[in-house]
A and B are shown apart, each in its own frame.
Chain A
Amino acid sequence: MTVTSYVLPTSVAEAVGLLGAHGPDLLVLAGGTIAMPLVNEGVTRPSRVMGLRRAGMGGIEPGDGGLRIGATTTLTALASQDALPLLATAARRTASWAVRNMATVGGNLFSAPRGGDVATALLALDAVVEAAGPGGTRRIPLEAFFTGPMTTALAPDELVTAIVVPPTTGASTFLKLGRRLDNTPSVVTVAALLTTEAGSVTDARVAISGAGPHPRRMAAAEAALAGRALDEASIGAAAQAATDAADPLADAVASDWYRRRMVGVVVRRALEELAQDVHGRAA
């Protein structure tokens, strides 16, 4: 099949209208870094394609006390968000400079990669996905957004229009284990955000990719930390809980066997880093 039309809508309403009119036959691309390799390789042979670069969906602005990140905001723009170091680091550790100049935050969620370093950071930040469809706009907590390997809670006629990140406090860290240091897919990625009061953890958020079919929060690891001091015992318990709860997939990057073992290791290292941060500030 040859591409018969490539349309570049100039508003969200126009984009949603086109998606509604053509349904799943319309290939949606924003940065093109996920869709275009499939097209170039002939894996996807779309007839109609919609590009979102002119749909006015980019940009980062204050919203709901936090930040509203437009869906076509590039990872390069995200990487310079000093106010959100967790998200900025996740963006910086994704792919290469030229890819980050093209890849978008919405595309990363919309296409539901099984890994997803940015999604992992957004999960720890309690982010909410804003989606637009023919019936209007709705908000989906990111935790409920991923429903399986490469599947999301989006209806076929809905587009991700923005990500809303509520204000956060506490110490955060982002730790990615890849096969190489840089420009590498993730074996296991952990994003953790902890709030402590008088030496004990009051809010623990541990998000992981590589421990299941999609990035997820690790409730068992969070429960192992809540109300306890951030020390060797609680960190060990959280790492063990994460390992027990992991149900990783095997792919060309890593086996499920290796991922399961690395889940505990990366959780432990991330929390040890946070412990140093927390205790360092207390001292």
Chain B
Amino acid sequence: MASSVVAFELGEHEVEVLVAPLTTLQAVLRTQLGQTSVKDGCRQGGCGSCTVLVDGEPVLSCLLPVEDVEGRRVTTLEALTPAEGLHPIQRAFLEANGFQCGYCTPGMEMLAAAFLDHHPDPSRDEIVDALAGNICRCTGYEPIVDAIAAAAEAGR
């Protein structure tokens, strides 16, 4: 089995990892790079809890071989979080109680961050539509949609 070295950007840092063939980005981020916000959920692309950004666009890291992100820019919730305080999306989730158990929260927040980059002034329906692939079994979604709407409002 020929392992190989893969280099990519994680937030503002260059990282290099030694991986077995077809290792997923999810496994590398969580187990080799300490990014525990990246959940090991359904591994089927069905739950959204492993959502990270590659070059600013949301993808499911459980379905992405890490070899495919060679040279690309990967953003996790750890990378999004400022050294002091919280990212506006995180603050909005906190203030709107946009979580209960918290398992889906990193994926939700990554998706929300990319979504607001594309749609700074979204309707509620557009937010609901964007979240269709991120499953939450606690909140009933309403506080999550509230949080994203509030973050959009605060960003204007």
Interface positions of A (Cβ within 8 A of B): 2-6, 8, 29, 31-33, 36-37, 39-41, 49, 51, 53, 76, 95-99, 101-102, 182-183
Contacts and interface: CB of A to CB of B under 8 A. Distances in A.
Nearest to A184: B132
Contacts of A41: 43-44
30 contacts: A2-B20, A3-B20, A4-B1, A4-B2, A5-B2, A5-B21, A6-B65, A8-B67, A31-B63, A32-B63, A32-B65, A33-B45, A36-B45, A36-B65, A37-B45, A40-B24, A49-B21, A51-B68, A53-B68, A76-B57, A96-B48, A96-B132, A97-B58, A97-B132, A98-B60, A99-B45, A99-B133, A101-B57, A102-B59, A182-B129
Nearest to A74: B57
Given A37-B45, A41-B43, A51-B65, A98 B59 contact: yes
Contacts of B148: none
A104 to B, nearest CB: 12
Contacts of A39: 22
A80 B123 CA distance: 19
Interface of B: 1-2, 20-22, 24, 43-46, 48, 51, 57-60, 62-65, 67-68, 111, 115, 129-130, 132-134
Given A37-B44, A97-B132, 18 more contacts: A2-B20, A3-B1, A5-B2, A6-B22, A8-B68, A29-B65, A36-B45, A36-B63, A37-B43, A37-B63, A40-B43, A40-B62, A96-B132, A98-B60, A102-B60, A182-B132, A183-B132, A183-B133
Contacts of B68: 8, 32, 51, 53
A270 B83 CA distance: 53
Given A3-B22, A4-B1, A4-B2, A97 B64 contact: no
A176 to B, nearest CB: 13
A33 B24 CA distance: 12
Contacts of B46: 37
A89 to B, nearest CB: 13
